[in-house]
Amino acid sequence: MRARIGPYVPTVAGLSSVVATESNRPGPIPPVASPTPKSALPAGRRHPYWLPPALTMLALGLWRLDEPELWRDELFTWSAITRPLPDAVRMLGEVDAVLGLYYLLMSGWTALFGTGVVALRLPSVLAMAVVAAIVARIGGELLSPRAGMLAGLVLCALPSASRAAQEARPYAFAMLAAAAATLLLGRALRRPSTGTWIWYAITLAVAGYVHLFAFTVVLGHAVAVVALTGFRKRSWVIAATAASVAVAPVALVGATQRAQVAHLPLTAPEMLYTYPETLVGSAVVAGIALAFAVPAAVRSPRIGWIAGALVVVPAVALFAVGGAVHVFAPRYLVFTLVGWVVLAGAGVARSKRPARWVSLALIFLLGIPAQREMRMAQGHSDHGAAAAARAITAQLRPDDGIVYEDVSWLRAAMDYYLPTDNRPRDVLLARSAAAVGGFVAVECADPPACLAGVSRLWVVHQDPYRPLRRMRPVKAAVIGTAYEQASRYRHGKLTVTVFTRVLR
């Protein structure tokens, strides 16, 4: 690895001649000569500087990986990937088509390693370790190996990076695709080749198929290419167009499934104030990262345009669209952290040796409270489903039934955490979510008939004092008149109330 691989893009003076050359004759931009042969570089510069960030992220990802309960979206992942293939295909026609590739990968993984909490989350841990390595390579090739290693370590310090690593959702893979595409873009701009552009296009398409919103990375790349080459990079246009065509089918299907994100609020100006904190996972860590990132973007234009555009452009685009369509959520933009940390690593690298490591240590230390909190039992969500399942199992009687308020993830939570051989009967279930082709099961149309003969019910709900509030009127009416409350157990935001039949 070269100590400095040369400017990632030509200097301002050299850029003019390169653009003129490309405009006058076909062919790629001539490679920029390396100032020093690889064999003449100090041995330390050839060391794998990307390895410490990768190992650090791996260790952080494995730290208490099984402690937090699966939250709502992770339960939907489990529900999706454990269905028979025909049911899974039918589901993607109704919901979550934009996550189809991730579900496919996870289905193959869990077929080999099972669906325990660790097994579900381990692919994200491994993906984030690779992300840390790629981030280091981006920083190393844009500026220096030192800046690259520091960028990877800054990524490890961000609480939201650990959250992405410890979550059975596609965000780690979205970051992986975005980081790989950014690395390939930088290489293609400096030393063009057909193979690099082809891999760049493939990586962009993978980003769109893993998580559709991650494809907005191409918007940030477009701004960088315009700023650095005057938009005379026809190879980039061809690669980006090919990737867009490849992603178009999933985008079109996803546009018909917008109801599943209808719960997201429309964007408002006040969201801009909380966006950095929500994206990074800690307001103070976000502030320090910005304090290092902004000066680095100003001082190093090649880093500023490639990494800075990745930070700003996708967020601005989704925020603008989110004023009319329910599409904006900071977790959808976690892939932009790649740009954040590349810039922050460059900023930290400019400090003198003692200040450099003190700054890095400070970022880690200030992020510890958020890092610890997200690794607690209810660190991903405070619904308390696992504890509720234990309470039910401990007091279960052979003929007990279970009923849920009309919230889809509650049934998935109990299906996951209750033992398959020791659980109350789901007395109102008519057709499972898998059979329907979505995440919402179909319940009995005649609750009085379905509840006949059931003397005791476990009702799972969120309102701690009104267990029947979020139920269909006919379901709430029969439970409220035929049963009376006997006991109640509160676990996080989840409550389990025992109802016993009234003897008349």
Assess contact for 460 and 439: CB atoms under 8 A.
Answer: no
Assess contact for 374 and 164: CB atoms under 8 A.
Answer: no
What letter represents residue 36's amino acid? T
Residue 496: helix, strand or coil by DSSP? strand
Please enumerate in sequence order all residues whose Cβ is within 8 A of that of 125, keeping only pairs 6 or more positions apart, or say none. 58, 61, 62, 65, 165, 166, 172
Interatomic CA distance for residues 151 and 149, integer angstroms: 5
Based on its alpha-carbon atoms, the radius of gyration of the chain, rounded to whole angstroms, reads 26
Q: Where are the domains positioned within the chain? A: 47-373, 385-501
Q: Report the predicted TM-score, pTM, of the whole model to 2 decimal places.
A: 0.89
Assess contact for 317 and 265: CB atoms under 8 A.
Answer: no
Residue showing tokens 């290419």 = 225
Which pLDDT value is given to residue 263?
Answer: 86
Interatomic CA distance for residues 480 and 473, integer angstroms: 10
Interior angle at CA 104, CA 117 and CA 406, nearest 5? 60
Assess contact for 213 and 327: CB atoms under 8 A.
Answer: yes
Which pLDDT value is given to residue 246?
Answer: 98
Assess contact for 417 and 423: CB atoms under 8 A.
Answer: no
Tens place of pLDDT per residue across the chain (504 aa): 333 333 333 333 333 333 333 333 334 434 433 444 444 343 334 689 999 999 999 999 999 999 999 999 999 999 999 999 889 989 999 999 999 999 999 999 999 999 999 999 999 999 999 999 999 999 999 999 999 999 999 999 999 999 999 999 999 999 999 999 999 999 999 999 999 999 999 999 999 999 999 999 999 999 999 999 886 789 999 999 999 999 999 999 999 998 888 889 999 999 999 999 999 999 999 999 999 999 999 998 889 999 999 999 999 999 999 999 999 999 999 999 999 999 999 999 999 888 999 999 999 999 999 999 999 988 998 788 999 999 999 999 999 999 999 988 999 999 999 999 999 999 999 999 999 999 999 999 999 999 999 999 999 999 998 999 999 999 999 999 999 999 999 988 899 999 999 976
Interatomic CA distance for residues 370 and 50, integer angstroms: 25
Copy the structure tokens of residue 395.
């007091």
> Comparing C-alpha atoms, which of 272, 252, 248 is closest to residue 322?
272
Interatomic CA distance for residues 3 and 5, integer angstroms: 6
Which residues does residue 62 pair with via DSSP β-bridges, in sequence order? Answer: none
Interatomic CA distance for residues 451 and 453, integer angstroms: 6
Interatomic CA distance for residues 99 and 39, integer angstroms: 45
Interatomic CA distance for residues 158 and 289, integer angstroms: 9
Q: Kindly tell me the sign of the dihedral angle through the C-alpha atoms of 90, 333, 131, 70.
A: negative
> Comparing C-alpha atoms, which of 197, 203, 229, 236 is closest to residue 302?
229
* Alpha helices, H only, 322-452: 337-349, 353-373, 385-394, 408-417, 433-436, 447-450
